[in-house]
Amino acid sequence: MAVAGLINRKRNLVEFSPDFHWHEVDVIAELSSKHNVPIIFDNVTRVMALGEMVYGIGKDTRNFICVNVGHGIGAGIVMKGKPLFGPTGMLGEFGHLTLDKDSEVQCDCGNFGCLEALASGQAIAQTARVAMENGTSSILKDLSGGDPSVITAKMVVDAAKEGDTLAWSVFDRAAEYLGIGIAGLINLLGPETIVIGGGVAQAGDILFEKVRKTVNARSLKKISKDVQIVPARFGTKAAVMGAVALVLDQVLNLNLAAENNNCV
Ligand SMILES: [Zn+2]
């Protein structure tokens, strides 16, 4: 299973999931009472990174960061061919870096101005909704049937590609924040490749061009000049491929996540 949130691998539970509003949920106990199969779980973005490591970008590099931009934002970090877990498994919460200290947009985690609250799929949709409710003209009015509450990030992307000014500015701003965050990741960890997956990555060139341009402007060139920023190899199936890798790792004891052997 791939779960959005902080996975405490020492306690073997979901410590906190802002997306689901879960606190200390024992998913194994919850699910094993209904399904008579072994249950293996980890953080969704680390699962995606494991899939990339085994079946995708891992064939080309041992040092990469998988950035998942969907409903929320997370990072799965692979260094020297091993996913990073830290002492408990709770790391990689890229989406909860504060990028705007003055922001009045509250994140699901409770903080204000988190990257996730500025650049995730739900943030893109919400920013467009607010703009429409304030009367800004946009083809989103037609796409949503006049109901701002049904606007999705995909609608904003579609409208932006049609040249809609409002949708373009909302998406471009979100992509810039994502690029600023990724520039920080590159400065901090010096990966060879950044892999971007999740629903928002399906926007394609309009996302990647803005992120690359922003990274170029906001990172240390000596570190970032050779860093590749590429889409996830398996698109929206990245987490599924990761889950396959997770099961193979545990069942066949492939030792892919050896760094974590003393945790669980
Ligand atoms: Zn947050």
Structural tokens at position 231:
């889409």
Distance separating the N- and C-terminal Cα atoms of the chain: 16
3 touches 255 (CB < 8 A): no
Distance 60 CA to ligand 1 centre (A): 32
pLDDT tens by residue, the chain, 264 residues: 888 888 888 888 888 888 888 888 888 888 888 888 878 888 889 889 989 998 899 999 999 999 999 999 999 999 999 999 999 989 999 999 999 999 999 999 999 999 999 999 999 999 999 998 888 889 999 999 989 999 999 999 999 999 999 999 999 999 999 999 999 999 999 999 999 999 999 999 999 999 999 999 999 999 999 999 999 988 777 778 888 887 777 776 666 665 444 333
pLDDT at residue 100, rounded to an integer: 97
Distance 115 CA to ligand 1 centre (A): 7
Distance 215 CA to ligand 1 centre (A): 22
**DSSP tag of 106:** B
Distance 114 CA to ligand 1 centre (A): 5
145 touches 132 (CB < 8 A): no
**Which ranges of the chain does DSSP label H, i.e. alpha helix?**
27-32, 44-55, 115-119, 121-133, 140-143, 153-161, 165-189, 205-218, 221-224, 238-251
Determine the Cα angle at 123 with ends 122 and 126, to 5°.
85
Distance 72 CA to ligand 1 centre (A): 9
Determine the Cα angle at 2 with ends 190 and 129, to 5°.
85
Distance 163 CA to ligand 1 centre (A): 31
- Give the amino acid at 47: V
Judged by DSSP in three states, 47 sits in helix
Distance 19 CA to ligand 1 centre (A): 10
- Tens of pLDDT, residues 185-229: 999 999 999 999 999 999 999 999 999 999 999 999 999 999 999
